[in-house]
Structure 1
């Protein structure tokens, strides 16, 4: 059977995805090819020719992606920092911009021995597990209210523990409950939160509208309802000099910093841009 140039398969895949309105057609085409071949994307140039079954397998996934099935649902995983977590139906897919929030959080606990970290609205567990991977000495708590999300988080936590990472402490709970983690009040070094924050009337891409759980995407009060609870929890849980980081909608670049600054114990409030320069997460320190 005659082998075919991988380059041509990727060009065709890019054309199909571009026509379907996929935001990053070339990137997705290459990631699909690397997934099928089982090689890093950066090593694709080292695979000049492929067999027909490989071309067909790439084509099948490309046509699914053209239907706007999330790339992460096709590959079965999503990256966060230096780890990956499994994702699929029933759980929010972590986004690349959240890695900026992770980086800020890791900078807060740098140099602290045995830091205590809380991840609110943990979803797949991506943030909590990425912190535990980078800081084996950390005590990491993670919480979510959604049973399906917790099932994914538990699965991912077990996989990371089997790989040798420190186990996280996973809980079912509502961050609106002011008594949640009460035993940690004033003892936490870092609180991270990637909550549902999209205003309900917002039009979102098919990958979000059709596949991400709505309760993990949208929030009442113009997207601020869960963020208000996260701010309150952060102010209560953090120890002096501890850090708080909350991801939010790009329309919240003023209001979220104001919500946080209204808590007098929280200082050094700063809004940070995402990879496209839009306001994406706000941080603060416990005074």
Structure 2
């Protein structure tokens, strides 16, 4: 098995897969039905592996493994082969026609989670649960993470794609998320969630934001993620993100927080869009996990519901 994994690592590295060793081991574990490949737990001679091997034999494992490695060599995303993705503390199902969640977005979720936790623990709110809206929710990983990590939070998730809404609903049920409501909706619709205007504590979003002429370089994104989840409309790709900003200005209560992912080159334009509404104060650009400027955080103007800024493990520093 070690020889097979080493050979797979070489094949994937030659194909340009950036995480060849990790993916080779993940695919081997998947073929064995294990959550991960922990070498120190495997018997030295492989004597006890028979029941776990596809077909019950080493040849069966090698055949299944070769097929999985070939799919990854062709740059099919690892998450789509495995059928799931790990995001923060949850494991969600990955299905066709829905955007695959990326680790960089975990930082966006962190800021929303910290704000929801602060509000939940604020005695001035007299036990009112935080209300979080996840716009352009995709597979639902942000809203689900908020619900799981800040129990009692009320989460409303919205996406234009019915497939994404179904995926979010299934993933919420999968992890036991009990307070999430998911619906199909267009963030560019000025009447979206009108019944919540002025009452939302956090609006968080990872919207489509790629310009039409900026085709992604990575085959995993370009060839496998749906266009609806990638391209943000308009010449600069910011039509949908600007709609998120306008929706947040309408939905958020005074003192509420907007957290939105964007492309690194869009940081100044997104800050300008938030400032231009006249609704936000303390508009900032923050880095993601790779230290690139890919997130805007802005506070809704007016008397805040409670004291103190939002914090994201120190990432609220300008």
Q: TM-score when scaled to structure 1?
A: 0.91
Q: Which residue of the other structure, out of 249, 262, 287, is the alignment partner of 1:235?
A: 249
2:3 matched to which residue of 1?
8
- Range with bigger deviation, 32-41 or 173-182: 32-41
Q: Secondary structure at the match of 2:70?
A: helix
2:219 matched to which residue of 1?
206
Q: Secondary structure at the match of 1:100?
A: helix
**What is the RMSD of the two structures over their aligned residues, measured on CA atoms?**
1.7
For 1:99-138, what aligned pairs fall within 5 Å after superposition? 99-113=106-120, 114-138=129-153
Q: Which residue of the other structure, out of 91, 100, 107, is the alignment partner of 1:93?
A: 100
For 1:37-56, what aligned pairs fall within 5 Å after superposition? 37-41=32-36, 43-47=38-42, 49=46, 52=58, 53-56=60-63
Larger Rg: 2
For 1:186-205, what aligned pairs fall within 5 Å after superposition? 186-204=198-216, 205=218
User: How far does the alpha carbon of each residue in 1:155-190 deviate from its partner, in whole angstroms, 9 at most, with x for none?
Assistant: 223323xxx331411111111111111111111111
1:31 matched to which residue of 2?
26
User: How far does the alpha carbon of each residue in 1:80-123 deviate from its partner, in whole angstroms, 9 at most, with x for none?
Assistant: 22111111211110111000100111111123231000000011
Give the superposition deviation at 1:263.
2.6
User: How far does the alpha carbon of each residue in 1:10-61 deviate from its partner, in whole angstroms, 9 at most, with x for none?
Assistant: 2111111111111221221122223233444473443254662334332221
Q: Secondary structure at the match of 2:71?
A: helix
Alpha-carbon distance change, 284 to 261 in structure 1, aligned in 2, over 3 angstroms: same
Q: Structure 2: how far apart are the matches of 1:275 and 1:9?
A: 32
Q: Structure 1: how far apart are the matches of 2:193 and 2:85?
A: 28
Whether the aligned pair in 2 keeps the contact of 1:34 and 1:44 (CA below 8 Å) is no
Indicate yes or no: 2:181 matched with 1:169.
yes
Whether the aligned pair in 2 keeps the contact of 1:157 and 1:167 (CA below 8 Å) is no
Q: TM-score when scaled to structure 2?
A: 0.83
Q: Structure 1: how far apart are the matches of 2:15 and 2:211?
A: 26
Whether the aligned pair in 2 keeps the contact of 1:108 and 1:242 (CA below 8 Å) is no
User: How far does the alpha carbon of each residue in 1:176-230 deviate from its partner, in whole angstroms, 9 at most, with x for none?
Assistant: 1111111111111111111111111113121112111111101222110100100
Q: Structure 1: how far apart are the matches of 2:267 and 2:160?
A: 26
Q: Structure 2: how far apart are the matches of 1:112 and 1:278?
A: 28
1:3 matched to which residue of 2?
none
2:312 matched to which residue of 1?
none
User: How far does the alpha carbon of each residue in 1:67-88 deviate from its partner, in whole angstroms, 9 at most, with x for none?
Assistant: 1111111010112221111112
Q: Structure 1: how far apart are the matches of 2:37 and 2:265?
A: 35
1:60 matched to which residue of 2?
67
